[in-house]
Structure 1
Amino acid sequence: MTNPTRVASVAELESIFQQELATDRWAATETAFALAVRSRDTGDWEKSREWVAQCLQLLEGFPDETEEQVATKRASVGGVPLPNYLHEGVVRDRFGELA
């Protein structure tokens, strides 16, 4: 996907996630967060819950003692804005009962 302002479909984001999972786990974590948002926004609560769980699982593998360690590397993924920091607390705050 080359146009950063266009909102990616869930299928496009899932494809990106699979590629990133093999090459850049932090990028995959950011994409899992974006997938959780997109799924929630389209009303697919079950898929959103699955992507929240995937994001949280990936986050377990990263240190989170400093802001630098949890700072997102991108402002958005597939047109979905990312938080400045990505850690368990942010995910649980953003998704409430879906987390």
Structure 2
Amino acid sequence: MNHAVVVGSDPDGLGEALEARGVTVSRAAGTADRDALVDAGVEETDALVVTDVGLATSIPVARELNDSFRVVVYSEDSIPEFARTSAGLVVDPQLIDVDTVAEELTTER
């Protein structure tokens, strides 16, 4: 993974953990609408990291712009049903820390 777009405030610091592993991280500002996603580089990203499930509507919008990235949801809250099928990885921060998730996302298979 070379680039990730973070959606949400990222209170646990997954974006920083990814940066520490060499990933370029950009953030979709505000409500992560189409313009914010484009500004963050979603058209070329490898991963969309959603840290606020209230912004899960950004997932289908981002898919319209790029259908080849991995969706990672890192939140204690449940992801809405409509977005669940798009999520490649859903992780509760209380179960797995950011360093472990960042390692998993950046380890080549």
TM-score by length of 1: 0.30
- Name whichever structure is richer in helix by fraction: 1
